[in-house]
Amino acid sequence: MGFRSSRPARTDGEQLRLALAAARMGTFEWDLTTNSGRMSPELEAIHGLAPGEFDGSRDMMVELVHPDDREEFLAGFARAIADAGRYDTEFRIVLPTGEMRWRTAVATIVTDGNGTPARIIGVGQDITDRRLAEETLAEAQAKYRRMVEQLPLVTYVESLDAESALYISPQIEELCGYTAEEWVADPHFFGKVLHPDDRDHVLGEFANTHLTGDMYDGEYRIVAKDGRTVWVHDVAVRVRDADGNPLYSQGYMADVTARHAAEQALAESRAQLEQRMREIEHQALHDSLTDLPNRTLFHDRVDQALRAARRAGGSVCVMLIDLDRFKEVNDTLGHASGDVLLQEVARRLRTPVRESDTVARLGGDEFGVLASGVATADDAIVLAEKLREAVAKPIAVGGLSLEVDSSIGIAVAPDHGADVETLIRHADVSMYVSKRTHSPAVYSPETDHHSRVRLTLVADLRRALERGELIVYYQPQACATTGAVRTMEALVRWEHPVHGLLAPDQFVPLPEQTGLIRPLTLYMLDAALRQCAVWRNAGYDLAVAVNVTGRDLLDLHFPEQVAAAIERAGVVPEALELEITETTIMTDAARARAVLEALSALGVRLAIDDFGSGHSSLGYLKRLPIDVLKIDRSFVMNMAQRTDDAVIVRSTIDLGHNLGLQVVAEGVETEEALAWLTELGCDSVQGYFLGRPQPTDAVEWIVRRLARRLPPPDERAASG
Ligand code: C2E
Ligand code: CA
Ligand code: CA
């Protein structure tokens, strides 16, 4: 081994003693028969004695032992002798200097030939350093333990292959009601107290960190002894030896139930806040009456649909739906009934459309539909008809059964516009067309131009009235059998300085602009009655027919104004016929009836215009003071082609006669139509075949040729 000592070689005994001295060890011997003993010099040195200083007596031996340990020291000896066994003990000794040290005694009892204990031989070692180290360690441990057990935390130590703790600090009892002893006694305790919802994942995570050596840092619930749920924050680390091998795991658990409760309260109030925000947002984007999306949301959805269509290709169909004469329902039955009606309409509009389609209330009685999967105008019309039918079924409101007609305007992107504003504007234009045609209308650029002109014109109407740009055209109505003209219908025209001659459908205000109707009606009344006076003064037996609207008939002052106009013109009241469309009468029958009765009392004749185009019941008309029924021109014009129209014309003539009314057929365009109507017994005819509406000068020759002469004034007075 290449190791060379510089000293001369020693004997084995010498070497052993050197080794014993180095290990602070010495040997001893005790003779039980003489009760005296001997220590090796090394052991004497441990006791602070010079070699040979130990006198071998029991007394000195006992003297060397620390007084507190003497009793146990002697008892130990006695036990070893009694058992004839081994003796192994640690005790304190006192050095002559007074210093206290620790030594061991490991000995064997040697027996004599009879088996009686004779001698004790053994080894003693100074273990003061080790004891001191152990004490320091124990003190330190006790100190840390005290500290740990004072913390408001539960600390624990866990072996790496166990589920539960080896040690857990007593605070655990405060945390969950179970004592540390209960906890440590059962290796599966932890798993048992874990909240069922957390058990699997927490045990899994722990097992995983034991494997990887990662730190565990998590929160979970445990169920306390009294059933409470306790939230625990648990942090655990792996403790390793100097070589990095994991030894055990240690960690702490803190009760974070209060924090969790606070967090939960916070989360709840945040959720409430969010809910409230959502409600506010919903309110901002929905109509409160029907809960349908409002105009803002509708525009937004159309915008999104257009973007999606631009990206992915495809079309977007927008419809605007307006309820006809809703305002009158509202005015007559009250707002509460109007609301019920709107809610029902909203509900019905949802049925024909897809779940993903949007039905919105854009305001008042106007609704919007954004429909997907509607690519062509034909598809759109099909859907629009379904919507119209859904709305048209009778709705029970305030004890009445109302049939609600609707106008539907349609625009389909990209053909009819690529942005929201254009698309909706074009659907709006079509809606006005639909109002006139009484069927859903798809956008077309021509009608758009027309409608735009119309809107500006309506706005200019008042000025036109003041400037006298409105003129009256007359269309004759003749007796079907004799051909004699008895009545001239006054039809308005506008000689527009820019647009030229305009027909009434281009500017006669829609129900929405009712404020302009009265001035127009009064203007026409005055003009027609004045012209009538001219003809009558020239000796022709002519009456004039003037068109009035529902708005006129709802005003109880209207009869006075008519009376005043008749008086201004100076004609007999019988020379005036007022034409009222059947739909206007049905809207507010009670009020209209009062006005009609007042007018009839004046002596003015009353005609139902466009008969057959609405849904009025003849039974009801019977109770009104009506004199004339004008069959709608659409039936008359189509009589030759459509048998059902012919049937309608024939039965209307019969019905009118049964009610004692004069029947007039409008739209007589051909000789055949005239002949047939004559055969059916129709009283009067009106239409292009007899003459188109024309200005006064142009109808003058008709008046001279076809109007009957009035009897001379004296005869008139006599017969009147
Ligand atoms: P209306 O009261 O039914 O008037 C008859 C309409 O039928 C007139 O159109 C006339 O030109 C047209 N017509 C007459 N005979 C024929 C025919 O044989 N074939 C065809 N295809 N059409 C015929 P106009 O003058 O354009 O008036 C349209 C509507 O405008 C009128 O329908 C009436 O509802 C309204 N209107 C006209 N003037 C006035 C007015 O002064 N006040 C009000 N409130 N409305 C008016
Ligand atoms: Ca008319
Ligand atoms: Ca008519």
Q: How far apart are CA 295 and CA 284, in angstroms?
A: 10
pLDDT the model gives residue 717 = 57
Ligand 2 centre to CA of 87 (Å) is: 139
- Report which protein residue has its CA nearest ligand 1's atom 2: 547
Count helices and strands in the chain by DSSP H and E runs? 27, 27
∠ CA 377-380-381 to the nearest 5 degrees? 90
* 8-state DSSP, 504: G
Query: What is the predicted pLDDT for the residue at 614?
Result: 63
CA–centroid distance, residue 590 to ligand 1 (Å): 27
- The rounded distance, in Å, linking the Cα atoms of 571 and 710 is 13
Cα 676 to middle of ligand 3, angstroms: 19
CA distance 279 to 288: 12
Strands of 303-349, DSSP E: 316-323
Alpha helices in 438-557 (DSSP H): 445-467, 517-537, 550-553
**Closest ligand relative to 632 C-alpha:** 3
pLDDT digits (tens, 9 = 90+) for 259-287: 999 988 999 999 998 999 899 889 889 99
- Could you give the residue ranges of the DSSP H alpha helices within 151-185? 171-176, 180-185
- pLDDT-derived band at 98 (thresholds 50, 70, 90) equals very high
pLDDT tens per residue across span 501-558: 888 887 887 655 667 888 999 999 999 999 999 999 999 999 999 999 877 888 889 9
**CATH level 3 topology of 152-254:** Beta-Lactamase (3.30.450)
Residues with CB under 5 A from ligand 2 (ion): 547, 579, 609
How far is the C-alpha of 492 from the C-alpha of 524, rounded, in Å? Answer: 7
Nearest to 520 by CA among 496, 532, 504: 504
Give the separation between CA 31 and CA 10, rounded to whole angstroms: 30
Res. 2 pLDDT band, cuts 50 70 90: very low
* Structure tokens belonging to residue 549: 């609207």
pLDDT tens-place string over residues 576-616? 999 998 766 766 677 788 899 999 999 999 999 988 876 55
If DSSP codes are grouped into helix, strand and coil, which group holds residue 427? helix
The domain 24-132: what is its CATH number? Answer: 3.30.450.20
Rounded Cα gap, residues 291 and 354, in angstroms = 17
**Distance from residue 705's CA to the centre of ligand 1 (Å):** 24
Question: b/e string for 634-657 if b means 16 or more Cβ within 10 A?
Answer: ebbbbbeeeeebbebbbebbebbe
Please give the pLDDT value at position 117.
86
Residue 80's pLDDT is 84
- The ligand 1 atom nearest the CA atom of 549: 44
Q: In CATH terms, are 24-132 and 152-254 the same topology?
A: yes
Q: Which CATH number fits domain 453-711: 2.40.30.10, 3.20.20.450, 3.50.50.60, 3.40.50.360?
A: 3.20.20.450
The pLDDT of residue 673 is 96
Q: How many angstroms separate the CA atoms of 628 and 621, rounded?
A: 11
Of 525, 531, 514, 425, the closest CA to residue 461 belongs to: 514
620 versus 593: which is more confidently predicted? Answer: 593
Is residue 504 lining ligand 1, measured as CB closer than 6 Å?
yes
CA–CA dist 575, 530 (Å, integer): 11
Q: Is the dihedral of CA 258, 264, 266, 268 positive or negative?
A: negative
How does residue 188 score in pLDDT terms, banded at 50, 70 and 90?
A: confident
Contact at 8 Å (CB) between 251 and 236?
Answer: yes
pLDDT recorded at residue 451: 65
* Amino acid 287: pLDDT: 93
Interatomic CA distance for residues 580 and 600, integer angstroms: 13
The C-alpha atoms of residue 540 and residue 533 are separated, in whole angstroms, by 10
pLDDT band at 674 (very low <50, low <70, confident <90, very high): very high
Whether residue 374 contacts residue 317, with contact meaning beta carbons closer than 8 Å, is answered with yes
Q: Is 503 in the pocket of ligand 1 (CB under 6 A)?
A: yes
Q: How far apart are CA 108 and CA 88, in angstroms?
A: 9
Residue 246: is the preceding peptide bond cis (ω within 30°)? no
Ligand 1 binding pocket includes 549 (Cβ within 6 Å):
yes
Answer yes or no: are the C-beta atoms of 80 and 86 closer than 8 Å.
yes
* pLDDT average, residue stretch 230-244: 89
Tokens in use for 678? 């004559």
| Ligand 1 contact, 687 CB (< 6 A) | yes
Distance from the alpha carbon of residue 71 to the mean position of ligand 2, in angstroms: 140
Instruction: Let me know the angle formed at the C-alpha of 346 by 343 and 347, rounded to the nearest 5 degrees.
Output: 90
SS3 assignment, position 389: helix
Please report, to the nearest 10 degrees, the dihedral formed by the alpha carbons of residues 91, 95, 101, 106 taken in order. Answer: -40
pLDDT in tens, 471-507: 999 999 999 999 999 999 999 999 988 888 888 887 8
What is the 3-state secondary structure of 659-718? CCCEEEECCCCCHHHHHHHHHHCCCEECCCCCCCCEEHHHHHHHHHHHECECCCHHHHHH
Q: Is 552 in the pocket of ligand 1 (CB under 6 A)?
A: no
Question: How many residues are there in the chain?
Answer: 720
Q: Are strands 117-126 and 100-111 parallel, antiparallel or unpaired?
A: antiparallel
Ligand sitting nearest the alpha carbon of 611: 3
Does domain 295-448 fall under CATH 3.40.640.10? My reply is no
- As a 3-state breakdown, the chain gives helix, strand, coil percent values, each rounded to 5, of 50, 25, 25
Chain-wide mean pLDDT for the chain?
Answer: 88
Percent of the chain with pLDDT over 90: 54
Helical spans, DSSP H, in 351-444: 377-392, 420-437
Amino acid identity of residue 695, one-letter, is: P
Predicted pLDDT at 288: 92
- As a whole number of angstroms, the distance between CA 596 and CA 647 comes to 30
Q: Is 578 exposed, middle or buried (0-12, 13-18, 19+ CB in 10 A)?
A: buried
Mutation pick for ligand 1 pocket among 472, 510, 633, 694 (CB with most ligand atoms within 8 Å): 633
- Ligand 1 centroid, distance to 391 Cα (angstroms): 29
Residue nearest to atom 43 of ligand 1 (CA): 547
Nearest to 556 by CA among 514, 598, 584: 598
Token pair in block for residue 209: 């960190």
* pTM of full prediction above 0.85: no
> How would residue 5 be classed by pLDDT, with cut points 50, 70 and 90?
very low
Break the chain into its structural domains and give their ranges: 24-132, 152-254, 295-448, 453-711
Pocket test for ligand 1, best of 465, 666, 684 (most atoms within 8 A of CB): 666
Which ligand is located closest to the Cα atom of residue 473?
Answer: 1
Query: Cα angle vertex 526, ends 525, 528, to 5°?
Result: 65
The response to whether residue 491 sits with its C-beta less than 6 Å from ligand 1 reads yes
Sheet holding 406-413, edge to edge: 358-363, 366-371, 316-323, 406-413, 441-442
